[in-house]
Structure 1
Amino acid sequence: MTTAVTEFEVKALDIDPADLAERIQKAGGVHITDRHMRRYVYDTVPAVAGKWVRLRDTGTEVTVCVKEIHSSRVDGTRETEVGVSDFDLAHATLTASGLTARAYQENRRSSWLLDGVRLELDHWPLIPPYLEIEADTEAEVWAMAGRLGLGPTDLTGENTAAVYARYGIDLDAVTDLRFPA
């Protein structure tokens, strides 16, 4: 199944994951899963700034997605995504079609659900953990942020590359992003 949607999402950076997990749980949130995720990132052909192809294995599903960043606002990202059956085979297929992976990336994610809003406690190599709040509408995102005690100045709509840039790291220059062994 293919979907094309606007993401409604913000991030709270440099968080204490245990504190936020406790806040989410006290508010009635349910812990869904902890997982190790991996992805390849490919430039489009021709390369377009703010647009790329992502192949991701979440541990429970594998997807290919075209991501388009239009702004750093809560609704600034559009995704067109399709499920695939095999991470390695999809990577081989994308490579055979002429796309070259510019990076391999990993992260760890603790997923929560609270009143239909997806809350992701993300750990990425080289930067402090952050919380993603993703919902079906912008109003739900802001309401959940407030419910968790987070105000607009605590949040950003920036994508992961922009978050890395805040810490002085050019994510586009990192071709292999893994946790230390």
Structure 2
Amino acid sequence: MKEIEVKILDVNKAALEKKLLALGAKLAGEYYIESVVFDTQKKDLNSKKELLRLRKKNNRIILTHKNNVKEGKTKTCEETEIEVSDFEKTKALLAGLGFICSKSKPKKRTTYKLKNSLIEIDEYKEIPPFFEVESPNEEELEEVVKLLGYTMKDTKTWTGWKVFNHYGKELESLEI
């Protein structure tokens, strides 16, 4: 599946949620997320702009591979996800295959659906809330950004690690 997304930093969550509901967005879920990112010792995936991530999202466990990451006006990539049944066993299996893992910080994510887009508000203890707009195409993404009162100049194509670096913080993880 193709993923097309941007982030907008320093948001007032309550005001954003009020705007989303006024626009007819539907609450799709609230999640507590814990992630582990994998790479080789030589950071082969990182050098190819790929990501291998194991994520616990409430009661679901999802293994994700992202590749063909391209940054321009938006960040796009090919994303493949599979659901697995055991977080620790999957982590051990990948470590047994030679992957090293780093744990990232847990976050709370609140997801809304507007049109065919997801608006995902991420909250970490260490930094201000930010949100991501993920859309099926760039046209809808730009439309949703505008509906929310922003312009594309307000957006970032950064990874979560770059967001943390922006605030002078570090994630306990690999820079992907």
| TM-score normalized with structure 2 length | 0.87
Greater shift, 10-19 or 89-98, is seen at 89-98
The answer to whether 1:155 aligns with 2:151 is no
SS in 1 for 2:128: coil
Gap runs ≥5 in structure 2: none
Alignment of 1:56-71 (within 5 A): 56-68=55-67, 69-71=69-71
CA RMSD, Structure 1 to Structure 2 (Å): 1.8
Equivalent residue for 1:6, pick from 2, 5, 25: 2
Query: Retained in 1: the 8 A contact 2:40–2:98?
Result: no
Greater shift, 95-104 or 64-73, is seen at 64-73
1:128-181, CA deviations, whole angstroms, 9 ceiling, x for partnerless residues?
11011101111111110111111112111111111112112343xx25xxxxxx
SS in 2 for 1:98: coil
SS in 1 for 2:105: strand
Letter in 1 for 2:43: A
Query: 1:39, 1:45 → 2: CA distance?
Result: 19
SS in 2 for 1:91: helix
1:81 CA displacement: 2.1
Query: 1:123, 1:170 → 2: CA distance?
Result: 15
Identify the residue that residue 30 of structure 2 maps to in structure 1. Answer: 34
Identify the residue that residue 107 of structure 1 maps to in structure 2. Answer: 107
Query: 1:30, 1:112 → 2: CA distance?
Result: 5
Gap runs ≥5 in structure 1: 176-181
SS in 1 for 2:150: coil
The answer to whether 1:125 aligns with 2:125 is yes
Identify the residue that residue 165 of structure 1 maps to in structure 2. Answer: 165
Query: Retained in 1: the 8 A contact 2:41–2:100?
Result: no
Query: Retained in 1: the 8 A contact 2:36–2:103?
Result: yes
Greater shift, 127-136 or 101-110, is seen at 101-110
1:72 CA displacement: 5.3
How many pairs were matched up? Answer: 169
| TM-score normalized with structure 1 length | 0.84
1:57-104, CA deviations, whole angstroms, 9 ceiling, x for partnerless residues?
111421111233332541333323222122122112212222121224
Query: Retained in 2: the 8 A contact 1:42–1:103?
Result: no
